[in-house]
Amino acid sequence: MELIKNSLIKQKICLFFLLSIGVKNVDAQRRQGNLDQFFSTLSQNGQFSGNVLVAENGNVVYEKSFGYADVSNKKNNTVQTSLPIASITKTITSTAILQLKQQGKLQLEDRVTKYLPEFPYPEITIRQLLSHTSGLPNYDMLFFPLIPKNPDTVFTNKDLIPASVSQKIQLVFKPGEDFTYNNVNYNILALIVEKISGGSFGSYLQANIFGPAGMTNTSLSDFFKREDKNLSKRYSFKYAYSDKVQLVDTASEFQIANRFNFQGHGDLISTTHDLLKYDQALYNGSLLNPATLKEAFTPVKLSNGTHNIQRYALGWITNEDTSLGEIVKHDGGLPGGRTMLLRNLTKHQTIIIFDNNANNVVPLADMALKILNGEQVEKPKKSGAKFYGIALAAHGKKAADQAAKKVKTDTLNYYLNEDEMNSMGYAFLMNNRAAEAEIAFGENTRLFPGSWNVYDSYGEVLLKFGKKQDAIKMYQKSMALNPKNANGKKVLEELLK
């Protein structure tokens, strides 16, 4: 009898175990299906082209490639496709600095001048560089005055301190008092890594980060000086109303500045799989210890005790909302490319997104995180402003009117955004398509009649076109909706004189 009883207990345990596995498998399939539906819809809408990788506890939950790495040759993006990761690089530069801190070779409160004596801002600390609270002048301020005098020079990190000295530009704010995202901070950090390590920045990363993490497909953009056959080409829309992307290297509006070759801020090329290896190396302690990581992920407060606007930590952006877990992340952007590395520290969840058509991946990562955690998200919709702008540019007002009618009624597939419509109008205006600009701004007042700003913008354009009386009417409508519109009030008073 006892044997039968024990046998039944074992059977129940086995059944429970099998059911648990079944439930987990069903849940995993559901999440995969929801993620695939989300990103596939984005791709079909022309809102995503690239790679997405979603992982949990180091295991890939969902991975897929969309679109072309090379449009002209119809070469698809694949899991091996690499892309410049732009400002995700900053997390790796931060890791390098924090490794040196762990080794006792520097302290975060050290002045930069301790390692770079010629640096002309003696009050700035390493922590302030890491957190973008240094107040340093940006590239434009440092180098634009020098370009006419040095037409053939490609500026690099070694030019930063001489330019800072020669330009004698004051700090934008007192170090620690404010936050301004500035790539120069991380170029200076790269110089510090080189000074302490005695080697190049690239060689340090290879030996201390890429190697230990197993990142075999990651390098500085010119580190190995070799052709990367897996490197995706990058594309962007020439205008807001363009219906086809073009290669950024051939479009004058989007050409990468060949005058700069800085390191530390956004110069790495990688793959989604290599970034997952980096993510796991951070978890397993092979790059930094837990105490250092905790400091890296703690938002830096300004001197008045408040958090900076991005809750920026030491190379990482942190989320204030912790309902799904403690989130640290960094996105990156360059002409034709957008990237995101998002990490849920609480649940060991990782989301990595590369896009080679300049689509904004930041909200996509947030949506993917929600789907991964079982939350419902709205089906991706097409931009009504984009649809309208394409119709207006290609076929004129009659077609645009039909497009406006469609986006107003087909709310399942299109969304309307006042700012996007306004931007569309300005895009036409800046590209000398005055008639289309006037039509677009006028349509925006009909789509959003309760917005003071649409009338203000329309009035501005009408005034530019010499239609004073029509402009007065628009400014009057704007002021009626928002009497505090100081600029509108000033313009209207001038017009009524």
CA distances from 51 to 56, 65, 215, 362, 433 (A): 17, 4, 17, 14, 36
Q: How far apart are CA 256 and CA 337, in angstroms?
A: 11
* Closest by CA position to 43, among listed 73, 80, 4, 77: 77
Q: What pLDDT shows up at residue 251?
A: 63
* Closest by CA position to 84, among listed 364, 355, 366: 355
Say if CB 485 and CB 475 are below 8 A apart.
no
Entry pTM: 0.90
Per DSSP bridges, beta strands 382-383 and 414-415 are parallel
Q: What pLDDT shows up at residue 424?
A: 97
Q: How far apart are CA 464 and CA 346, in angstroms?
A: 54
Determine the length of the chain.
497
> Token pair of 350, please?
């990782």
Residue 96: HSE in the Cβ half-sphere, 13 Å Cα cutoff: 32
Say if CB 168 and CB 214 are below 8 A apart.
no
The DSSP code sequence of 247-293 is EGGG-GGG---TTB---SSS-EEE-HHHHHHHHHHHHHTSSS-HHHH
Residues of the chain with pLDDT under 50: 223-224, 256
CA dihedral 81, 82, 86, 87 (to 10 degrees): 90
Mean of pLDDT over the chain: 93
**Phi, psi angles (nearest 5°) of residue 64:** -160, 150
* Closest by CA position to 175, among listed 124, 250, 226, 240: 124
Domains by residue range for the chain, with CATH: 86-372 (3.40.710.10), 382-491 (1.25.40.10)
Cα 286–Cα 290–Cα 291 angle in degrees, nearest 5? 130
H helices, E strands: number in the chain: 18, 15
Q: How far apart are CA 203 and CA 485, in angstroms?
A: 55
Q: What pLDDT shows up at residue 3?
A: 57
* Closest by CA position to 88, among listed 329, 408, 399, 407: 329
Q: How far apart are CA 64 and CA 76, in angstroms?
A: 11
Angle between helices 434-447 and 418-430 (to 10 degrees): 170
Q: How far apart are CA 431 and CA 239, in angstroms?
A: 9
- The alpha carbon dihedral of 274, 279, 285, 288 has a sign of positive
pLDDT tens readout for residues 79-110: 999 999 999 999 999 999 999 999 999 999 99
Residue reference for tokens 């952007």: 333
- The alpha carbon dihedral of 483, 488, 491, 495 has a sign of negative
